[in-house]
């Protein structure tokens, strides 16, 4: 067994057990030290006048006797003598603000510079460094600041492992959102596949509800999910995150770039959370994301929350219930509705594109950049922080307000003579054809006007109204978007062979004919 230096308090326990006539082998086994080390300190005690035949003096007296006699230089005075001339050099290597070499690297440098390889072991070097600890303390230091109850929470993401996502049928990277209350050390853990803006803000909302209140400030990393532009004095929060903090009455204090100690409490929790989550996944191989979240809430309260914390020496959940939770800011009456913010440009056709849909914007803002805020059911558009437009979010692709267009365009879009006349003319060919034309004009009467005029013109080209009704019904049943050319070819085919009832090929993706309709329709074979 390797040689170990024993602390002064362990020496007292060794002496106490020896005095009670416990065997050296048993003492060594209890402490994990070798027997030679135990014998060494027993001889040290005897040299200070302690005896088995006399009562053991009080603890303080024994420690006082032994303290001055305990060697502090280790077993290798030769190594110390070899290294002592280079003490200043070692101090410089370790304390250099640019280099700040670790002990192993400093050892290799000293051995290489002064030809000490083979004469001094790394163990002896470390022992020498320990004896010179005051000299080897770096010029910079760390100050531990304890947070007041309810004053602070630190948040971060941690990469956990790969987990199967049934929604897409393959493995995805699993992350964990971690929020730690700085005073009690109670934490909220939420497994997630995403780190986007919506997921980040939503996790904060659920964290506040888990704690039953809101801390005064939140310390977070410079994630794009929360911080647009990192800055020590004036960080720029993204709009969704800023809106959330205003709703709950807290403020944000981003950590400095590449300064993880600014949020050391949550940084230290990463490995703990990672192991806890991996254990849950191993124990529950087919678990879902929601089930993992439930299990981690239980873990935070019933497992981690009941452990004595290494720094505070208190149980996090107990401290939370007694001191921290009452000090948190009360939750507002209304739950925060998470919204997505995005910048968009108003196109010349008076529309903006947002999440694969089009929304009309007033004519005055053509070519301008605007901010779009989209909640679950409402889309709001802002220009220079002023609300300029609102739309209800529906399944429709195009959302049009005719008032957003100038008068000459509204004349076409609204109830113009052309518009009314087209619908009246289409109605003469049956309700199905009328619906086709009406759907075109309602989608975008201005852009689809010529197409609607062309369809009506084809219908009025001398075809039987019965054939037009059949063609229109076929197109509606298959959700087709006919062009005048498509309608003409279909009518000609139906006219040449009124007995055909075959379905016409079309693109399921675009819901439009992909080639000339006669290309796909062959003459019906006559029965033999």
Average pLDDT of the chain to the nearest whole number? 78
pLDDT in tens, 390-437: 999 888 888 888 888 887 676 656 545 667 778 888 888 888 888 888
Q: Which of 4-13, 44-53, 499-508, 511-520 has the highest mean pLDDT?
A: 44-53
Question: Residue ranges of the domains in the chain?
Answer: 8-67, 77-131, 152-327, 340-402, 411-520
- Residue 15 scores a pLDDT above 50: yes
Identify the CA nearest to 241 among candidates 204, 206, 207: 204
- Residue 256 scores a pLDDT above 70: no
Q: HSE (CB half, 13 Å, CA atoms) of 8?
A: 14
Name residues whose C-beta falls within 8 Å of residue 428's C-beta, 6 or more positions apart in sequence: 465
Distance CA 197, CA 223 (A): 9
| SS percent in the chain: helix, strand, coil, step 5 | 45, 15, 40
Cβ–Cβ under 8 Å, residues 341 and 373 = yes
pLDDT in tens, 160-181: 888 888 888 888 999 999 999 9
Structure tokens of 212?
A: 């039953």
DSSP assignments along 466-479, one per residue: HHHHHHHHHHHHTT
pLDDT in tens, 300-358: 999 988 988 877 888 999 999 999 999 999 999 988 888 888 889 999 888 999 988 99
* 308-343 CB burial, b ≥16 within 10 A, e <16: eeeeeeebbbebbeeebbebbeebeeeebebbbbee
Q: Bridge partners of 342?
A: 372
**Strand positions, DSSP E, 131-277:** 152-165, 170-181, 187-192, 217-220, 227-229, 236-237, 251-252
- CATH H-level, domain 152-327: superfamily: Ribonuclease H-like superfamily/Ribonuclease H (3.30.420.10)
Give, as one character, the DSSP assignment of residue 359.
Answer: E
Distance CA 380, CA 366 (A): 17
């Amino acid at each position: 067994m390797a040689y170990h230096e024993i602390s002064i308090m362990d020496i007292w326990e060794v002496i106490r057990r020896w005095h009670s006539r416990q065997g050296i082998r048993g003492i060594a086994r209890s402490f994990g030290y070798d027997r030679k080390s135990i014998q060494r300190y027993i001889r040290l005690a005897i040299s200070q006048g302690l005896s088995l035949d006399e009562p053991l003096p009080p603890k303080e007296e024994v420690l006082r006797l032994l303290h001055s006699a305990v060697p502090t230089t280790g077993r290798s005075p030769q190594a110390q003598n070899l290294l002592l001339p280079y003490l200043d050099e070692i101090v410089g290597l370790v304390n250099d603000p640019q280099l700040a070499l670790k002990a192993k690297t400093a050892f290799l440098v000293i051995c290489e510079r002064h030809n000490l390889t083979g004469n001094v072991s790394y163990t002896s070097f470390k022992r020498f460094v320990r004896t010179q600890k005051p000299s080897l303390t770096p010029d910079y230091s760390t100050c531990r600041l304890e947070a007041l109850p309810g004053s602070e929470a630190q948040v971060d993401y941690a990469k956990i492992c790969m987990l199967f996502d049934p929604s897409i049928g393959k493995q995805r990277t699993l992350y964990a959102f971690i929020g730690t209350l700085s005073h009690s050390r109670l934490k909220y853990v939420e497994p997630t596949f995403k780190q986007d803006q919506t997921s980040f803000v939503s996790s904060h909302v659920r964290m506040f509800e888990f704690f039953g209140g809101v801390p005064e400030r939140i310390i977070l990393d410079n994630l794009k999910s929360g911080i647009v532009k990192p800055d020590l004095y004036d960080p720029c929060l993204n709009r969704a995150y800023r809106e959330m903090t205003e709703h709950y009455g807290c403020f944000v204090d981003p950590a400095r770039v590449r300064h993880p100690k600014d949020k050391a409490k949550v940084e230290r929790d990463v490995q703990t959370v990672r192991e806890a989550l991996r254990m849950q996944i191993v124990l529950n191989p087919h678990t879902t994301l929601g089930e993992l979240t439930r299990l981690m809430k239980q873990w935070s309260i019933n497992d981690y929350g009941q452990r004595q914390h290494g720094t505070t020496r208190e149980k996090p959940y107990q401290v939370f219930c007694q001191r921290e939770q009452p000090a948190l800011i009360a939750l507002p009456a209304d739950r925060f509705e998470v919204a997505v913010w995005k910048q968009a440009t108003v196109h010349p056709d008076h529309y903006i594109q947002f999440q694969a849909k089009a929304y009309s914007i007033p004519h005055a803002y053509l070519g301008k950049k605007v901010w779009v805020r989209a909640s679950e059911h409402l889309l709001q558009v802002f220009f220079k922080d002023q609300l300029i437009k609102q739309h209800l979010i529906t399944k429709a692709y195009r959302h049009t307000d005719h008032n957003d267009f100038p008068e000459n365009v509204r004349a076409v879009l609204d109830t113009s003579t052309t518009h009314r006349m087209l619908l009246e003319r289409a109605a003469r060919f049956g309700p199905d054809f009328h619906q086709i034309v009406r759907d075109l004009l309602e989608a975008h009467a201005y852009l689809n006007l010529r197409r609607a005029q062309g369809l009506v013109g084809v219908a009025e080209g001398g075809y039987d109204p019965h054939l037009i009704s059949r063609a229109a019904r076929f197109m509606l049943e298959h959700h087709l978007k006919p062009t005048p050319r498509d309608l003409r070819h279909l009518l000609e085919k139906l006219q040449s062979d009124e007995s055909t009832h075959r379905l016409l090929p079309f693109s399921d993706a675009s819901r439009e004919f992909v080639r000339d309709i006669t290309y796909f329709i062959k003459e019906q074979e006559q029965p033999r």
